[in-house]
Amino acid sequence: MKEVRVRFAPSPTGYLHIGGLRTALYDFLFARNQSGKAVLRIEDTDQNREVKGATESLIATLHNLGIDFDEGPETGGEYGPYIQSQRLDLYRQHALELINKGHAYYCFCSTATLSQMREEQQAEGEFVKYDRRCLKLSKEEVNARLNAGEPHVIRLKMPDNYRFAFDDEVRGHVQMDSSQSDDQVLIKSDGFPTYHLAATVDDHYMQISHVIRGEEWLSSTPKHIWLYECLGWEAPKWVHLPLILNTDRSKLSKRMHDVSVESYIQKGYLKEALINFVALLGWHPADDRELYSLEELCEAFSLDRVNKAGAVFDLTKLDWMNGQYMRSLPLHTIADRAKQWFPPQWTEDYQRYLKIISAARERSTLLPELTEYARIFFKPAPLNPEDKDFLLAESSQKVLQWYLQQLTGIDADDAEAINTITKAGIKELGIKGKYYYMPLRLALIGQAHGPDLPTIIGILGKDETLIRLGAARH
């Protein structure tokens, strides 16, 4: 059996998109599941769109998420170089081979000519495609124009009246007519290849067994199949992933969501939740589980469980999942990742900081929310008029006075003792429910709801607890 080799081939044009992360993740999961190799290849043939530092940023983001490729620009490998701008001679060589075989031709049409051609075809209601006027040029005329240095491109000559048929690992048997395919540009006027030629050549030489990519590339597959046939190569297996959709079923876009992976990390989403959530955008496991570690995803992943239907990006679901990981990951892990959102002085006493994180993560969804929740332990929330009146009520003052006296001889970290005096107060004062607990919480943290009293007192410490209770007495 042929070794499984997959590739993630992003363009260095900015941030890593959620859709790009899913493709990279599926490549990684499939390679690990099949004991194969995952290749990272940088497709930088569109020099005008390249953003400086984007490649390094993309690799760093994937690494931080736990996705490390077996081969690539930084790790190397026997099929490099893994940056397309360093492989230009190879693409040119095969473009000329296609010309010699009669499968490609030179085109000298200007941008203005092509625009006029498109407008005329649209006006006639025709399928917009190149009309092959340069295919009619004689060999002598082509050579003369080339020798004169006239700007040109190289186009693939698609077959006429041809029915392409191929099997897709997700969509099953697919048939497409060649009449719906244009004579694609293979080499641009700047000498750089287009995606179609470069990807085909690289996939062949890098021995890629499965091409995993988004559904939007499905319509281009006939061009790629034809290139493989014309060059006499065996095509890889095709895997076209479903679209990622907004909740209104429109295609995920910047207008509806922030789609940068880095932005979600900066907002305080955990990498474990993001990976888990993105894995389920188009793939469903054999059981009804929803929470998977990256290692578990590697074991469970298979292409036959990738859906055809579009996957909805439900931010509410991501928030829920992030909350689950906030509470289930080791306390030290959450504490260390949350530190960047905390003032340094709040984390100096690390044991107290851990207690705060332990209490806060039970009621938080994102990492920055831990900081907001922690404020009550450094300064009580300001009371609204109703709470102030409640705290001044006779029964509230009785509770505060009694609790203050009882707590004097208790260790702040002795949760059992605090629970004991709390229960004793209810019995002795005959006050219960909100009339008992609410005055204590208002005095200690400035709000009616929050952690249990042993947790609050354990975080505040004995001295601060007594100060806050005393300040609430009138």
Domain(s) of CATH 3.40.50.620: residues in the chain: 1-72+242-329, 87-241
Q: For residue 411, what are the CA distances in angstroms to 286, 418, 425?
A: 51, 8, 17
64-89 pLDDT per residue, tens: 999 999 999 999 999 999 999 999 99
Q: Which CATH superfamily is domain 1-72+242-329 in?
A: HUPs (3.40.50.620)
pLDDT at residue 214 above 70? yes
Nearest to 221 by CA among 175, 261, 188, 190: 175
Which residues does the annotation mark as catalytic? 254
Domain(s) of CATH 1.10.10.350: residues in the chain: 380-471
Check residue 253 and give its pLDDT: 67
pLDDT at residue 201 above 50? yes
Q: For residue 354, what are the CA distances in angstroms to 205, 326, 359, 447?
A: 52, 14, 9, 22
Q: Find out whether the peptide bond into 385 is cis, omega within 30 degrees of 0.
A: no
CATH (residue range 87-241): 3.40.50.620
Gap between the Cα atoms of 271 and 65, Å rounded: 6
CATH class held by domain 380-471: mainly alpha
Distance of CA 95 to the CA centre of its chain: 36
pLDDT at residue 405 above 90? yes
Check residue 300 and give its pLDDT: 96
Banded pLDDT at 256 (limits 50, 70, 90): very low
326-369 pLDDT per residue, tens: 999 999 999 999 999 999 999 999 999 999 999 999 999 999 99
Query: Is 294 within 8 Å of 288 (Cβ atoms)?
Result: no
pLDDT at residue 142 above 90? yes
Q: Tell me the average pLDDT of the chain.
A: 94
